[in-house]
Chain A
């Protein structure tokens, strides 16, 4: 019961108590006439009573009382019919209209049960409903694009693929992927289905922080909605590649030309005869590599070996190679031949099976010659690379091969685009990645102005510092379980491209695009719906007891004090 009484002005309670005690002592000392008379006792008691009343008047005692109440929170896109039926059932229900960033603690202090209607609360406001039992009643799914998926940081030359789901499309309308200046790049016609998948594609030929637009137009070409699709296009980084062949082949000849023309540093070693090699150096200085020395090879990002070289590796060389892949992260690609797929004595298992009758595969709408084998994809460390290649993760690096043969035929046919696409996919999946000192993670695809945006920084740096646009520092919280993970939050107040940068290593950068709150409302709404359904399902409490501190009325203390004072004033007068 004691812990149910609290004082409102409890900050300086001890000062008040000392003063009160001093007052009581003063009072008792003043009444003390040398002996314990009845009068002394009565007056002292009255004095103590008056002081106590005064003390309580200052401290303002309050009592914790159990409260209960119901409220409905209306968020965007709520269903009016739902609200009406709730109101009919619960006459005295409190209605709170939610706006992003609204503090509901005041309105919810006496509420124990909350019904959320509509899209729900954004995740950064979930804390407001932690104390109450919440029921989330989903509103209608918003009309428009409700799911958007694309890679917002890509390399130059790759394709921007914007995929998504459109809810309640109007038949005949078109979704157009446009440049920022309104030039259509790709479009899809909406067919009026309840939910329609769409995918739009465009080549990324220019580097920089680009903003495309996803525009919905009606059949008369009138723009209905237009939302930005920000993409950061980065320049490709050059690789250092070593190719070792036991004999020259057309496949290698075209591959090396392709790689050299793209500016990669390339060392090609072809065996002429026993112990004699032909070395070709493209875009790099002359520095012959004999055998498989660890020192020379660790500078390479990718080793391309033909099957014969790979299968004839000595045990020592094999160990070196495995160490290079595992510890340094070098990628190894083996140019296949029948014997590669038949051989069992390999560094890794590609889990291959014979595909009887398979002569070619359809890649990028082209039939390409293949070996009659296919990857089973049973290796837990294996990654399928498109439908033609397979990479196995070995430590930090990767080991890969393909079933395609004679891809150079594509170059002869003039299909250099397809050729470069196939080899870019294989090489990108295999080559060593550049090790960074840190990386930003778990950033939302769409961040909206004036809404908190959480991010994580992964770094091994002891005390990392992060700035926004090189101006403001962002405080970081270290993850309890993973020591290289830090969490932070930004509150974007500017539209457009912004930059998060690690001050300790300025090469660790993340650019993000801040949207105006009017953009992508349907996608954001659907995301909130999803977040709310999963969050409120988990935190729903069966019965919440809510104690509220209610202040006791100060009138009684005042009257006690007044009566005491009156007695003290009157008693000497009545005596005389």
Chain B
């Protein structure tokens, strides 16, 4: 019974709460909308209360009592048999039957309590509230309601535009006062920034922004002017506000001026208008070295992160990768545009992106190189700012490249490192001779033969320079030409490396009879003249490189012979000779480059030293080099002000024109160093506009202008003199004395 009563009470409470929430939601929504429209917290609070009260009056949640809850329960739960009201009736007043019914109903209600569903419009109310809030946000975002927001904005004393009358005679007149002032800065649409109302009159705005000034006065005035640099525009009146709109293009200073109905002029102080540019995005590459190389067998993957920031939003990020294959003339490039692995959110101001690059997935093979950089664009319009990082390199090491070394300064390195050099052979031979007494004869012979084989290999290797791998010695000394049935070095040498004749200088004496014959046919005189043009053919060299090589090989032949005959001692002398010859070849190996220089045109013999001048012409040029005087108006202004200070006179209209011109010159300086010159510029502006001549101001401007002027260097000039009679007499006396 009590439980049933409790359920009824709870349902009533729930119903009331739901109604209140509905009312509150709608009121909040409308209140927030009004806040966005008016910008005033109090207005929105009052509107909230009003809406709350009105909506509450309309819904009348207090009228819903226990009776209503009972009938609601009767309607929703059929099992209650329209008897819920019995539960709230007084027990004493009820008949027995009613009491029984009450008891039953109580039980039923407790059993059926899950079926109770109180009706509500919370979702609808929430929808209204959200709609109102988003409408407010939208209006604010678009900047549609800014004027409305700031119309009633209070002018702070600190930021108030200060006007001063240009004529002191009218001190008794109550001057018009700035009642409201607001500067609206509307950023370019791409920035996505809402228009803002600046409280600071000294503005700092993004290039391309639209700036609007709206000034309201407490009295009617005749006209208001906006002065930017040397330009002056009249501000049109709109809804009792004088306004002016300017698109931010370059920095400068501005003043506001107005004329009241009594023709008195008032001028504001000088305010700065600084324009800043949209910065290019900044990119930092983390965990990445400028150059990285990978072994073929290792995994060719690397990972890096890029931190990108921009002041208004990034629109595009990409990795521009270039793969190069091959070397020298056969190099091929392939460019690819890669995306970061981390998904990139457009218009974000700061992102950190990650990328894992697998060189294999780029179809790179050993020896291939990858160059890549990150390119970022921001959302600036019409032309985006683009930032590129440095270029990074990644290489898969090539295993095929061998470093040949015959001799350091040879034109071509053809010697594989598994060849024994002549010097090594000599060392090994000497070692063998030294060990002869300690080792077995068979061993000795075997090793001698081995050395003989190495000597052959070396000889054949050098033979390749000659273009003939199996060339016989020119002068076999003790035995005849050895024939080699098969090239045992096939397994070791690269065949294509052997064709290297073009790297060698021409031979002085031709081996091939038929070639010689051909040459003889071409130039029958060749055999009889000294050909100085060919350095190889010149008699300056005792022996050509080729013949020396041949000699060395013949020494090697002999050395090999004796090694094969197990006579390392005999072989040693030949080996030394061969080594000496190779050393000589090394020293004489040079690459000849044609010398490039100035070849003077030949002088005609008949013209030389003839003293003929008729073709030599005089020359004349006329030039106006006079440099413009720096800051002429500032100098003129100083001259004027100096007189004003020392003679205590007032500034004339003509003087004011000079001061205005000086102000333009100083303005250029002040943009770069406002802290240094702004005050002077302000006072100068004042003097050039004002009717009165304030001595303190004149002194300030004088000092400021003097500070702004660069030092004048000493210049020569004509001096003025009067040659009096005394001078003449003196000079005459001097001359007479000499």
Chain A residues packing against B (C-beta within 8 Å) = 155-159, 179-183, 203-211, 228, 230, 235-239, 257, 259-264, 272-286, 288, 301, 329, 380-381, 393, 395-396, 416-417, 420-421, 423-425, 427-428, 431-439, 458-459, 482-485, 496-497, 508
Chain B residues contacting A157 (CB-CB under 8 Å) are 712-715
Knowing A259-B716, A436-B720 are in contact, say whether A279-B709 is a contact too (CB < 8 A). no
Knowing A204-B712, A395-B731, A482-B726 are in contact, say whether A236-B635 is a contact too (CB < 8 A). no
Knowing A180-B642, A497-B646 are in contact, say whether A279-B618 is a contact too (CB < 8 A). yes
Contact B618 A182 (CB under 8 A): no
Contact A436 B702 (CB under 8 A): no
B722 at the interface (CB under 8 A from A): yes
Contact B718 A433 (CB under 8 A): yes
B439 at the interface (CB under 8 A from A): no
Knowing A272-B616, A380-B738 are in contact, say whether A424-B715 is a contact too (CB < 8 A). yes
Knowing A155-B719, A396-B723 are in contact, say whether A421-B624 is a contact too (CB < 8 A). no
Chain B residues packing against A (C-beta within 8 Å) = 613, 616-627, 635, 638-640, 642-643, 645-648, 698-700, 702-703, 706-707, 709-726, 731, 734-735, 737-738
Contact B706 A206 (CB under 8 A): yes
14 example contacts (A-B, Cβ-Cβ < 8 A) are as follows: A155-B715, A158-B714, A179-B702, A207-B639, A209-B643, A211-B645, A211-B646, A263-B627, A276-B617, A278-B620, A420-B714, A423-B716, A428-B719, A439-B720
Contact B712 A205 (CB under 8 A): yes
Identify which of B619, B620, B698, B725 gathers the most chain A CB atoms within 10 Å of its CB. B620
A348 to B621, CA, bound (A): 34
CB closest chain-B residue, reference A381: B734
Chain A residues contacting B721 (CB-CB under 8 Å) are 433-436, 439
Contact of B625 among A205, A282, A416, A439 (CB under 8 A): A282
Contact of B626 among A260, A273, A425 (CB under 8 A): A260
Contact B706 A433 (CB under 8 A): no
Contact B718 A496 (CB under 8 A): no
A239 to B714, CA, bound (A): 15
Contact A180 B623 (CB under 8 A): no
A288 to B621, CA, bound (A): 11
Contact of A380 among B706, B714, B737 (CB under 8 A): B737
Contact B713 A483 (CB under 8 A): no
CB closest chain-B residue, reference A180: B645
Which 5 pairs between the two chains have the least Cβ-Cβ distance? A236-B717, A208-B639, A205-B712, A181-B699, A427-B716
Contact A273 B616 (CB under 8 A): yes
| Min distance, Cβ A388 to any Cβ of chain B, angstroms | 15
Contact of B620 among A180, A238, A288, A395 (CB under 8 A): A288
Chain B residues contacting A156 (CB-CB under 8 Å) are 712, 715
CB closest chain-B residue, reference A155: B717
Contact A283 B639 (CB under 8 A): no
Chain B residues contacting A275 (CB-CB under 8 Å) are 613
Contact of B716 among A239, A276, A281 (CB under 8 A): A239
A91 to B132, CA, bound (A): 112
Chain A residues contacting B713 (CB-CB under 8 Å) are 157, 416-417, 420-421
Contact of A421 among B640, B643, B714, B737 (CB under 8 A): B714
A325 to B31, CA, bound (A): 98
Chain B residues contacting A424 (CB-CB under 8 Å) are 714-717
Using A205-B635, A237-B719 as known contacts, list a sample of 12 further A-B pairs with CB atoms less than 8 Å apart, ordered by residue number in A: A182-B703, A207-B639, A208-B643, A237-B717, A261-B626, A273-B616, A283-B623, A283-B624, A288-B620, A395-B735, A434-B720, A485-B725
Knowing A205-B711, A205-B712, A208-B642 are in contact, say whether A183-B703 is a contact too (CB < 8 A). yes
A159 to B713, CA, bound (A): 9
A-B contact count (CB 8 A): 211
A421 to B625, CA, bound (A): 20
A497 to B726, CA, bound (A): 30
Contact A180 B720 (CB under 8 A): no
| Min distance, Cβ B617 to any Cβ of chain A, angstroms | 7
Contact of A207 among B621, B635, B722, B724 (CB under 8 A): B635
Chain A residues contacting B702 (CB-CB under 8 Å) are 179-181
Identify which of B620, B638, B722 gathers the most chain A CB atoms within 10 Å of its CB. B722
Knowing A261-B626, A273-B613, A496-B647 are in contact, say whether A301-B726 is a contact too (CB < 8 A). no
CB closest chain-B residue, reference A183: B703
Contact A432 B616 (CB under 8 A): no
CB closest chain-B residue, reference A425: B714
A70 to B717, CA, bound (A): 59
A482 to B722, CA, bound (A): 15
| Min distance, Cβ A239 to any Cβ of chain B, angstroms | 5
Chain A residues contacting B640 (CB-CB under 8 Å) are 208
Contact A285 B622 (CB under 8 A): yes
Contact A286 B622 (CB under 8 A): yes
Chain A residues contacting B737 (CB-CB under 8 Å) are 380
A438 to B722, CA, bound (A): 6
Chain A residues contacting B698 (CB-CB under 8 Å) are 181
A263 to B716, CA, bound (A): 10
Knowing A381-B734, A395-B731, A437-B722 are in contact, say whether A264-B621 is a contact too (CB < 8 A). no
A433 to B719, CA, bound (A): 5
Contact B623 A260 (CB under 8 A): yes
Contact B703 A179 (CB under 8 A): yes
Identify which of B648, B702, B709, B710 gathers the most chain A CB atoms within 10 Å of its CB. B702
Knowing A204-B712, A211-B645, A439-B721 are in contact, say whether A263-B626 is a contact too (CB < 8 A). yes
Identify which of B709, B710, B714, B731 gathers the most chain A CB atoms within 10 Å of its CB. B714
A288 to B643, CA, bound (A): 45
Identify which of B703, B715, B723 gathers the most chain A CB atoms within 10 Å of its CB. B715
A437 to B722, CA, bound (A): 6
| Min distance, Cβ B640 to any Cβ of chain A, angstroms | 8
A173 to B710, CA, bound (A): 30
Contact B722 A459 (CB under 8 A): yes
Chain B residues contacting A278 (CB-CB under 8 Å) are 618-620
| Min distance, Cβ B665 to any Cβ of chain A, angstroms | 13
| Min distance, Cβ B242 to any Cβ of chain A, angstroms | 36
Contact of A393 among B617, B625, B626, B731 (CB under 8 A): B731
A395 to B730, CA, bound (A): 10
Identify which of B711, B713, B723 gathers the most chain A CB atoms within 10 Å of its CB. B713
Contact of B622 among A159, A180, A236, A281 (CB under 8 A): A281
Knowing A273-B616, A278-B620, A497-B647 are in contact, say whether A210-B642 is a contact too (CB < 8 A). yes
